Structure formats: C-alpha cells, structure tokens
Chains A and B, each alone.
Chain A
Amino acid sequence: MKFILKVILIASLSYLAELFFPWWSVVFCAFLVGGILPTKGFNDFLAGFLGVGLLWLIFALLIDLDSDSLLAQRIAPVLQMSNALVVTSVTGLLGALAGGFGALSGSQLRRIFMEDPPKPGYFG
C-alpha cells in the first residue's frame, strides 16, 4: 500500500514540478519522495521507476494518440528508431530510469541517517 502511495506521490509531484521546471525536476521529486517515504530493497528503485516512467509513458501516449503519431513517426528515424511506438517506449524508459535512480539515491541518503523501516508485522 505504502509502495503504491509512493509511486503516486512521485508521479503527482513530478507532474506539478514539470509545469514550472525543466525535465530534470522529476529526478529531484523522486529523490525527495524516496528520502521521505521508506520502502524496502528493490522497491526503493521501482517506486521512482514506475512513478516517473508511467507519468512520461502515459503523457507521451496521449499526445501521440491525439496527434495521430504525425510527429513521433517523423522523429523516430532521426533518432534511429523504427517507429512512433519505440519513441514512446524509450520516452517512458528514460523517465523511468531517471526517476528510479533519483528515488534510489533519496532512499540511500535516508538510510545513512535513519534505521530501515521495521519488518512488516512487527507491530502487528
């Protein structure tokens, strides 16, 4: 539950940040949320990966549908990609990687100063 909350928080904060700041603000948002909301192990990375990745993927998809892939299919060969779908997927993947590493770094920083979250069920 907390993991899903974290993904949603990273995505919404990133969305808001992108209204005012350049693309790299998503890295900062993932870092921030990663540092505040503790998760475990691989989920640290995955929360940022999914949060920013899904945000970028969904928005790219919406624009692509809305514009009938007109521009994306023209851009694809310029970037040595085969079609608009690849451009859309790479967009999602790049956002995901940037978000994932941002969130992971935030979590790692938190670990230096705080204990790991208690194991599930410890408090019942």
Chain B
Amino acid sequence: MKVFKFLLSFIITIALTVALSIRIGSIPPLGNFLDPFHGFWQNALNEDDSILQTVTLEGLQAPVTIKYDSLMIPHIFAEHEEDLYMVQGYVTAANRLWQMEFVTHVAAGRVSEIVGERALSFDRLQRRKGLGTGAEEALKAWEQDSVTRRVINAYARGVNAYIQTLDYASLPVEYKLLDYTPEPWTPLKSVLLLKYLSNDLTYGDVDLENTNTLQLLGQERFDFLFPTYLPDYDPVIPKGTPWNFKPIAIDSPQVGFINQALLPGESPLRSNPDNGSNNWAVAGSKTRSGKPILANDPHLGLNLPSIWYLVQLHGPGVNVFGATVPGAPNVIIGFNDSIAWGMTNARRDVTDWYKIDFANSENTEYRFDKINLKTQKRVEEIRVRDEEVFYDTVVYTHHGPVVYDEHFPADTVNNNHRGFALKWVAHETSMEGLTFYKLNRAKNYKDYQQALKHYVCPAQNFAFASAHGDIAMWVQGKFPVKWNGQGKFMLDGSRADHEWQAYIPFDQNVHVVNPGRGYVSSANQVPVDSAYPYYVYDDTYEHYRNRRINNRLSQMRNITPKDMMSLQNDNYNLKASEILPLMLDSLDLAQFNESQQKAYERLRKWNYQNNAGQLSPVFFNLWWEKFMALLWDEFDQGEVRLRRPDSEVTVHVMRQFPNDPFIDNQKTTAVESLTDLIRESFAQAIHESDDWEESHEEELNWGNFKATHVDHLLKLNSFSRANIQTGGGSGIVNATKSDHGPSWRMIVEMGSPVKAWGVYPGGQSGNPGSPFYDNMIERWSEGQYFDMWLLQSESDKPEKMMSTQRLFPSN
C-alpha cells in the first residue's frame, strides 16, 4: 500500500514535470517559460537595466568602448577595424538577435523549421525564387574581396560571441515562446539579409496581367491605360538633362511577347506598391545656413522590432552615424563629417518571366533557339517542425529557376501552369557590402561615386550632400539593356531574341550633380524623361509625392532643418486637390439625404490636408475606392488576371477623356456616364461611413479610419502597437498608411559640426520587455525628431550619454 501510494505520487510528479517541460501545440513549455529564475520573467527589464556591464570578448585585438546615449544608441569606439565590426555584430545581436535570425530564415525559406507546416508553401516559394542560391553566389564574390571578407567575418564573430554567452535565461523571449534556440551566425546570413531586401523591393510584377490585358485590349488601348509617362510627370532627374554617351545597341524581335491564348492561373504577387520612400538634398544656395541639407525617409512595412538599428561607428579611417540593418555590417543610411546619403527604391523592371517549353514530361530538357537545352535540378530540403522533411525539386534553366510548374503552387495536370522561369537581377553576384563600406568612409562626391559602382540590387536612388557643398542623385543598380517593351509582358523562353543581351554601363546610369534648380529629390517616380537613350519601365511609378516635394522645394528659400521636418510630415493630398473639385461638381445637390449633404459641405471646405483628426480624408478615400471599383469593373474577371489602371491614369482619363467607353458599368444594361458613376460611388461611400462608427465603436476620423499599427514580426497583438494616430497616407509625402510608412526619418545639415535629427517607429531594443522597445513611436507619430549625435571622441558630449560599456580582449 505504501509502495503504491509512493508510485502514484511519484508518477504524478514525473508526469507533471514532463508536461511542464514540453511544448504542447503553440503553448511553450510552461515550467521553463514561467520559471521566474529562467523563464520569460528574466526578459522583463526597467530603464536601469540598460546600464551595461564590462564584457570580455575573445578575438578582440584591443579594448573597445561603447557610449550609449539616452535612446540606447551605441556609439562604438574601436582602435582596430576588425574590432569595430566585431563589436557592431556583438551589440546588434545583444539587442536584435531574434529578429536578425528570423529574417534570414524568411529569406532562406526556413520558416517551417520554426512554425511548422503552415509556412511550407511560403518556404517553397522563397526557395523556388532562388534567393538562397543567389545569396550563395553573392557570398563567393564577397569572400574574394579582402576588405568585405574581413568585415563580414568580423561581424559574424561578434554575433557568435554574443550567442555563446546565452543560456535559457538570457535568450530573447521569442525563442522561449516558440521553444527553439539560435544557431551560429554565418557571413551567408548577412548576404541573405540583403537578398531579403531585394525580394521586398524588387520581386513581383504584373507581366502576366499585362500579357492578358494586352490580348484583350490591343496595343493602342493598352498603351492608353498604362502609359509610362503622363503629361504632368516629374522625373527624378530634371527633364531636359542631356545624355552625352553612345548607348549600347541591341536587337529587337518582331513580336515581343507570347502571342497565345490568355494565361490563367498563378502570378507572382505584385511587390508591395507602397514600398517607396522620399529623399532630397538642397544646395547651400537655398538654405539659411548656406550648407546643404539632406533628408530621407524610406517607406517600408512597419514592424517591431524595427527594421532599422542606429549606431555610430568610430574606428581607423571612419566615423559614421546612421541606420543599419540588423544582421549586416556598416551603416546603410547615414552621414559622417563630410557627406550624408539617403536612399529610395529606384523602381525599374528587373524581374522578368520566361515561359518554358519543356521538351519532355520529366522536364529534363527545354526548347531554345531550335535546339534542346538540358535543365538542372536542385532538391530543396525543407525541414518542417514536428513533421517529416519535405523535398521540393526546383528545375533551373539558363534563364533562372522555374518558380511555377505542375507541382507548385499546387499539383496540377493543366499544362498552361507549367514552366514559368524567373530572370532576376537579385540572382546576379554582387558586392553591395563594399558600397556601404566605402560610403561610410566617403569624403566627397568622387568617393560616393566610387562606392556606388559596386551596387547591384535592389536598385536605389542615392541622394547625396557634402560639406563641400555638392549635392547629387544617382539612380544606381544593375539594369539590363532592354528593347522597347521587353519584360513588360511574359517572355518566350525558347527565343534567343527575348533574352537580356547586355547591361547598362555604370557611367551611363541616370544621375545628376549640382543641378541648376538647387535641389535633387526622388520619391519612386519615373527616373528620367524619354530623352534617355535606354528603355525604362516599371508597373508602379509614383505620381504625387514627387510632384508635391518638388513644388515645395522649388518655392522654398532660406531653408532650415525645421522646414525639412515639416516637409517630411507634409499631409497635403495632391490627388484630392486635382480631382475632388471635378467630382463635387458632378453631384446632384437636390437629391442629397442629410448625411450626404453634410459630407458634401465638409468636402467643399476641405483644405486637402490628411490630418488624423479630420473627416474629409475618410470621405474622399471611401469615395475614390468605390469609384475605382465601379469604373474599372471590366478588369475584374476572376480566373484570368488582368491589370487595373492606377489612380493617376484614372484622374487623367476623367479630366481629358470623360466619354471613354470604359466608363460604362458592364453589370448594368443602361449606359452609365462618368457623372452617373461619380454620383453612385458617392452614395455608396457615404452610406458606408454612416455605419462606420456603430460597427467600430469609435469616432470616425482619418486617424481611426486609417488605424496605423506597427506589428511584431510574429503578428502577436500584445507585442504590437495598434491605432496610432497619424495623418498622411498613400501618395502623400507623409506616406504613413495602415501598416506601412516612413520607417526612418533623417535630416542632416552638412555644417561644421554636422547636425542631424532622426526618429523611427520603434526603439533600439528588440525585447518587448524593455522600455526601449517602442519608445520612439510617440514622437514619430507626432512628426517630432530626436537629436542624433556624431561624437568626435569618447569624451564628447558626456551630458548626452547615459552609460558606458567597455569590452576587453580575453587573457
């Protein structure tokens, strides 16, 4: 009986202990997780915990000092270059390790290892795009350059030195929650991060939609609805800039697309058209101080931990401050004593699709230029948590990997789904790491230009300002020389004349230095006018932010940094100012109900500011959305994907071609005029706004309607910040949308000393248990900035510094 009693309680004890030590479904092992001595409690910090301790790092050559300012930005002072990058790796990992590793898993298609089968189809797509193979190729080039190799290896050593200090208690809380541990960091992961940015900014297009739309409409109507240049376009490089070089000539084929029946089925997702940014630099002639001012705000998905991590790097031959991408060495957007630079996405079609004509059912050969070429196969081994390993065979052609075939996205016997190969600049070897290494050390325009030569993808508009007084803009990336229309439509993978034949040489890339107008700017618009001798195309060129910025900059005189801050936070809705009067004039005032009357009066008085507290932007937005849906109803055809005209083209058609045949709503028998559609969509919009407050239980205004939120990468609500009150929106200089917007705002005045201001929607710590996790969001939402300090020495500005950490070599 005693033995039985013992056994019973002993078995219960063991069972309980085991149950609390294993993950059950999505619940972490609760014993480990809730233990106050090791579990998540150990990640809970207060401000005093940011006073850091002395560290011993194996591999350091000399002691390194880190000064932390009141935002927890590390200012790293090292005597040796490798120490500098090792400590950059160490300190970044100490604050952002989980994020760094998670994002490289996303890039490499390894999310299933962490979250299980629900990420499998995402992982398969990532691998089929060839991001991992691209990163492996790029790493080979990086390894061959002695500088880059030293830097990425030192950075990796620093990250690994931090990982080695970890035990369960000190693991970032996301690892505890998902019950896994970090693996060693490698230089390949730093390259993967860059490929991830390429993916975010350049993958995806509308080649398939274009092809179908062209077949339905014919060339003339297609060009009418999808022009590259609208009459009032305003390119990155001022119109009329001369190009004095002999362009590379290439052969153009007779037919530039696959001339066959409509292509049904999967299409690569369009890369987020919100991925955009603003940057500009004004010359000393336009500023109050007489020194150039540079401004940049890259618009990306708003996430926590933030995509950016701020540092100052002070070492032999370098003293630079700015935003880094956690996981990659060097400053990506920033400034030093001599220069400042900023980046916006330079849209250009660098992603093309080739229809592959396989010669047999095993996909071992495909037809090309009258002969058959052999394919190569790469087996992707995808480890899936709690499941068996999944093997996916990816077929490679000389164009690139076959992303879509009969096995992906789903097994099918429909031959039309078979064989779409991806040709993408992100697959090319590249040396972007060297660009940033050199930019960090650049002293003048020439250094900046030298640095950009190595830059391949994702193409960027690099704004530049120097203490010497120069301003410049280079649209830099590796761009294929294309015949007119090449890659706008699905290309024929069996024809040699459909291949990319050459690349634009570096010095023929679009650029401008010290233009007469006294400023350079870019906001993802078309890069250059049609006098540029190469074919330029992308499916989404910005048409509003750029014109608003240039309008303002051309009018401004005696510019101060404060003026630049207000311009970054400018909420003027240019689109509404250009089309709303026409829309309001079309309404029939006699037919209004009460709420329509109120909305009408409000819109009549609107100052076109998309401020958070205003109601008019809500009405306009809803109205425009409904109107677009009614107007372009022809383009919603279910199975066959078509491209719908953009807002700016719609405005153009409404103003210049009000009797265009597209205006008739196909779902009704009556023939609708533009006025009918405007009236009907107004009624729909106001009806929806009437119900909004009741269904959302809060006041209807632009801030609540837009509901800007910054989500944790795992989409955990309680780790995220919801309903942040901000103005702005799509096509507005303050491009803050619901989950997308200015991910880093920076203003730099190139005086002596150089002065800078910045803010981002997050905080320096990636730990949701730290007060520095989201401490900058408040100011960011209010359009306020923090001072950014480029220290000259360890003892500079002691009153601004919060704490000091010293790192010593071991032994």
Residues of A within 8 A of B (CB): 18-19, 22-24, 27, 31, 56, 59-60, 63-64, 66-68, 70-79, 87, 90-91, 94-95, 97-98, 101-102, 104-105, 108-109, 111-112
Q: Which residues of A contact B12 (CB under 8 A)?
A: 101, 105
Say yes or no: A109-B6 contact (C-beta < 8 A), given A56-B35, A70-B44.
yes
Q: What's the Cα separation between A24 and B20 when bound, in Å? A: 9
A-B contact pairs, 30 of them (CB 8 A): A19-B37, A22-B32, A23-B31, A23-B37, A24-B31, A27-B17, A63-B36, A66-B44, A67-B45, A68-B46, A70-B45, A70-B771, A71-B41, A71-B45, A71-B768, A72-B44, A73-B718, A74-B769, A75-B718, A77-B718, A78-B177, A87-B34, A94-B31, A98-B16, A101-B9, A101-B12, A101-B13, A105-B10, A108-B5, A112-B3
Say yes or no: A67-B20 contact (C-beta < 8 A), given A73-B718, A74-B768.
no
Q: What's the Cα separation between A92 and B764 when bound, in Å? A: 32
Interface pair B2/A108, CB less than 8 Å apart: yes
Q: Which residues of A contact B717 (CB under 8 A)?
A: 77
Q: Which residue of A lies closest to B176 (CB)?
A: A75
Interface membership of B40, Cβ < 8 A:
yes
Interface pair A23/B27, CB less than 8 Å apart: no
Q: Which residues of A contact B42 (CB under 8 A)?
A: 63
Q: Which residues of A contact B37 (CB under 8 A)?
A: 18-19, 23, 59
Interface membership of B43, Cβ < 8 A:
yes
Kindly identify, within residues 29 to 64 of chain B, every residue whose CB is under 8 Å from any CB belonging to chain A. 30-32, 34-46
Q: Which residue of A lies closest to B28 (CB)?
A: A79
Q: Which residues of B contact A77 (CB under 8 A)?
A: 716-718
Q: Which residue of B lies closest to A73 (CB)?
A: B718
Interface pair B35/A18, CB less than 8 Å apart: yes
Interface pair A109/B173, CB less than 8 Å apart: no
Interface pair A108/B719, CB less than 8 Å apart: no
Q: What's the Cα separation between A75 and B719 when bound, in Å? A: 8
Q: Which residue of B lies closest to A108 (CB)?
A: B6
Q: Interface on chain A toward B: helix, strand, loop, or mixed SS?
A: helix
Interface membership of B168, Cβ < 8 A:
yes
Q: Interface on chain B toward A: helix, strand, loop, or mixed SS?
A: helix
Interface pair B768/A60, CB less than 8 Å apart: no
Interface pair B38/A76, CB less than 8 Å apart: no
Interface membership of B586, Cβ < 8 A:
no
Q: What's the Cα separation between A94 and B27 when bound, in Å? A: 15
Q: Which of B9, B21, B46, B168 is the most central at the interface, judged by chain A CB atoms within 10 Å of its CB? A: B9
Q: What's the Cα separation between A79 and B5 when bound, in Å? A: 34
Q: Of B30, B38, B41, B718, which is within 8 A of A94 by CB?
A: B30
Q: What's the Cα separation between A67 and B42 when bound, in Å? A: 10
Interface pair B6/A111, CB less than 8 Å apart: yes
Q: How far is the CB of B151 from chain A (nearest CB, A)?
A: 35
Say yes or no: A31-B31 contact (C-beta < 8 A), given A67-B46, A78-B718.
no
Interface pair B719/A74, CB less than 8 Å apart: yes
Q: Which residues of B contact A74 (CB under 8 A)?
A: 716, 718-719, 768-769
Q: How far is the CB of A65 from chain B (nearest CB, A)?
A: 10
Interface pair B41/A90, CB less than 8 Å apart: no
Q: Which residue of B lies closest to A64 (CB)?
A: B44
Q: What's the Cα separation between A65 and B16 when bound, in Å? A: 29
Q: How far is the CB of A103 from chain B (nearest CB, A)?
A: 9
Q: Of A23, A76, A105, which is within 8 A of B9 by CB?
A: A105
Q: Of B44, B46, B716, B769, which is within 8 A of A78 by CB?
A: B716
Interface pair A91/B31, CB less than 8 Å apart: no
Q: How far is the CB of A113 from chain B (nearest CB, A)?
A: 9
Interface pair A98/B31, CB less than 8 Å apart: yes
Q: Which residues of A contact B36 (CB under 8 A)?
A: 56, 59-60, 63, 91
Interface pair A76/B46, CB less than 8 Å apart: no
Q: How far is the CB of A12 from chain B (nearest CB, A)?
A: 14
Q: Which residues of B contact A72 (CB under 8 A)?
A: 41, 44
Q: What's the Cα separation between A3 and B21 when bound, in Å? A: 29
Interface pair A104/B13, CB less than 8 Å apart: yes
Q: What's the Cα separation between A23 and B176 when bound, in Å? A: 14
* 3 closest A-B pairs by CB: A71-B769, A23-B35, A108-B6
Q: What's the Cα separation between A76 and B13 when bound, in Å? A: 26
Q: Which residue of B lies closest to A69 (CB)?
A: B44
Q: What's the Cα separation between A109 and B177 when bound, in Å? A: 36
Q: Which residue of A lies closest to B716 (CB)?
A: A78
Q: How far is the CB of B426 from chain A (nearest CB, A)?
A: 35
Q: Of B5, B168, B716, B770, which is within 8 A of A111 by CB?
A: B5
Q: A22-B168, A91-B36 are known contacts; what are 4 more A-B pairs with Cβ within 8 Å?
A: A66-B44, A91-B34, A97-B16, A101-B9
Interface pair A71/B39, CB less than 8 Å apart: no
Say yes or no: A67-B31 contact (C-beta < 8 A), given A22-B168, A60-B36, A76-B718.
no
Q: What's the Cα separation between A79 and B29 when bound, in Å? A: 11
Q: Which residue of B lies closest to A58 (CB)?
A: B36
Q: Which residues of A contact B39 (CB under 8 A)?
A: 23, 91
Q: What's the Cα separation between A87 and B768 when bound, in Å? A: 16
Q: What's the Cα separation between A90 and B39 when bound, in Å? A: 13
Q: Which residues of B contact A23 (CB under 8 A)?
A: 20, 31-32, 35, 37-39
Q: Which residues of B contact A97 (CB under 8 A)?
A: 16
Q: What's the Cα separation between A18 and B769 when bound, in Å? A: 22
Q: Which residues of A contact B10 (CB under 8 A)?
A: 105, 108-109
Q: Of A27, A75, A79, which is within 8 A of B13 by CB?
A: A27
Say yes or no: A18-B718 contact (C-beta < 8 A), given A31-B13, A71-B769, A78-B177.
no
Interface pair A22/B38, CB less than 8 Å apart: yes
Q: How far is the CB of B772 from chain A (nearest CB, A)?
A: 11
Say yes or no: A71-B16 contact (C-beta < 8 A), given A76-B718, A78-B716.
no
Q: How far is the CB of A57 from chain B (nearest CB, A)?
A: 9
Q: Which residues of A contact B21 (CB under 8 A)?
A: 24
